[in-house]
């Protein structure tokens, strides 16, 4: 994926985080309150936003150092984390389907791996 595409993807995910958060705070509040899941929804939005910003940083970094092979795995890990972690929390919050809580940690592991890939990208010279 090219640097421009990485930055565009991060921008799209950031815009989605803001939109989902705003819609949750205003349009979905009664539904979230009925399921007792406002905090869960907000956690999904926070991690979604944090990792959209991390993806933006990776996109910018890859523009300066495109040979850093660990940057792409970091990006994909953050994307998978957003989909699984935040996505499962959104669905859990809106539907009350509790078994989704069992897959949420897989998204958390993807986030953690993404940060470890950042460490590798910073420490291994063009590897």
Contacts of 14 (CB under 8 A, 6+ apart): 49, 52, 53, 56
Q: Is the pLDDT of residue 126 over 70?
A: no
Q: Which of these, 46, 119, 101, 47, lies nearest to 78 by C-alpha position?
A: 47
Distance of alpha carbon 25 from its chain centroid, rounded? Answer: 19
pTM of the model: 0.90
Which tokens hold the place of 13?
């995910």
**Region of residue 65 (phi > 0: left; psi between -120 and 50: alpha; otherwise: beta):** beta
Contacts of 69 (CB under 8 A, 6+ apart): 121, 126, 127
Helix (H, G, I), strand (E, B) or coil at 26: helix
Mean pLDDT over each residue of the chain, to the nearest integer: 90
Predicted pLDDT at 123 = 87
Q: Which of these, 89, 79, 62, 88, lies nearest to 114 by C-alpha position?
A: 79
**pLDDT, tens digit (0-9, with 9 covering 90-100), for 23-78:** 888 888 888 777 778 888 899 999 999 999 999 999 999 999 989 999 999 999 99
Predicted pLDDT at 103 = 94
Domain ranges of the chain: 3-123
């Amino acid at each position: 994926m090219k640097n421009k595409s990485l930055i565009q993807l991060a921008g799209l995910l950031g815009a989605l985080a803001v939109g989902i958060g705003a819609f949750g705070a205003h349009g979905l509040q009664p539904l979230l309150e009925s399921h007792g899941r406002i905090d869960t929804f907000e956690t999904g939005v926070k991690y979604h936003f944090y990792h959209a910003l991390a993806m933006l940083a990776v996109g910018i970094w890859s523009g300066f150092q495109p040979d850093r092979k660990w940057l792409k795995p970091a990006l994909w890990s953050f994307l998978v984390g957003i989909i699984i972690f935040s996505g499962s929390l959104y669905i859990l919050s809106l539907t009350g389907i509790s078994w989704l809580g069992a897959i949420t940690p897989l998204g958390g592991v993807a986030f953690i791996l993404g940060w470890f890939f950042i460490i590798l990208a910073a420490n291994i010279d063009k590897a």
